[in-house]
Amino acid sequence: MDYGEVRDEVDLVVPVKTLDRAKTRLTSATGGDPVSHAALALALALDTVSAAVATPGVRRVVTITSDPAVAAEMAALGVESLPEPPQPGLNEALLHGARTLRSSRIGALQADLPALKPDELQAALEASAGRRAFVPDRQGTGTTLLLAAPGGELDPRFGVGSAGLHRLSGAVALIGAWPSLRCDVDTEEDLRLALALGLGTRTANALPAWTT
Ligand SMILES: Nc1nc2c(ncn2[C@@H]2O[C@H](COP(=O)(O)OP(=O)(O)OP(=O)(O)O)[C@@H](O)[C@H]2O)c(=O)[nH]1
Ligand SMILES: C=C(OP(=O)(O)O)C(=O)O
């Protein structure tokens, strides 16, 4: 295989929790209303995936989710969903996706990047230059994107302090001027920052009243 041609082309797995369990740290942002909360969590994922699909170096996007509502909305974007494996947990879900896809190059993208710009994701793919690499979140502690090397293992270590764990596991930290790729939305403060960066249309339409 000529890795020179494929090394910037990647298949991305995007994990999405069931909407009733997702984004608990954002619960206060929607005033505790479960319907508004689920709509916001779904919008975050749809905007993230839409931007990923529009990125030239991304060949395929697949979500890992057990939520039929998420799978149906993703299908409307032309994105396939795989159910979660029997083993619980984010890393298990990502490993299951990576094993199922058997891609020439695999990556994991978090589903809470509602300001994501395709040109910033593309720039990160190019900066990885075919290495196993990751993009830390804006605080530098979490991970928003993990890329395997072409033909290599993803070896995901998401969870608390994942940036440090990915670094320790030998992945290269990619730090660029990619604010939309580094702005994962866990809290109200993150949502305000993403709003300032320019939200995708679905999240903009699902925003709680306090943002307007
Ligand atoms: N499929 C799947 N996705 C998960 C799982 N755990 C986390 N995720 C997803 O992984 C991404 C990062 O997780 P977090 O930022 O912690 O999001 P979260 O768990 O919804 O948020 P909190 O409840 O506030 O911790 C999000 O896209 C989640 O939907 C899991 O067990 N399975
Ligand atoms: C699971 C992660 O996301 P967060 O830190 O946003 O919960 C992570 O960054 O590994």
pLDDT greater than 60 at residue 5: no
Per-residue b/e over 197-210, b at no fewer than 16 CB within 10 Å?
bebbebbbebbbee
Task: Name the residue with higher pLDDT: 177 or 6.
Answer: 177
Write out pLDDT tens, residues 106-149.
999 999 999 999 999 999 999 999 999 999 999 999 999 999 99
Write out pLDDT tens, residues 16-46.
999 999 999 998 888 888 999 999 999 999 9
Structure tokens at 169: 């596991």
30 labelled as ligand-binding? no
* CB neighbours of residue 27 within 10 Å: 14
Question: In the chain, what are the domains?
Answer: 12-203 (3.90.550.10)
Structure tokens at 196: 């300032």
Q: pLDDT at position 102, please?
A: 87
28 labelled as ligand-binding? no
Instruction: Look at ligand 1, atom 6, and give the residue with the nearest C-alpha.
Output: 90
Write out pLDDT tens, residues 54-101.
999 999 999 999 999 999 999 999 999 999 999 999 999 999 999 999
Cβ of residue 154 lying under 6 Å from some atom of ligand 1: no
**Strand 80-82 vs strand 133-136: parallel, antiparallel, or unpaired?**
unpaired
Cβ of residue 97 lying under 6 Å from some atom of ligand 2: no
Average pLDDT, the chain: 93
Helices (H), 84-187: 90-101, 118-128, 162-168, 179-182
Identify the band that residue 210 occupies on the pLDDT scale cut at 50, 70 and 90.
low
Cβ of residue 142 lying under 6 Å from some atom of ligand 2: yes
Q: pLDDT at position 77, please?
A: 96
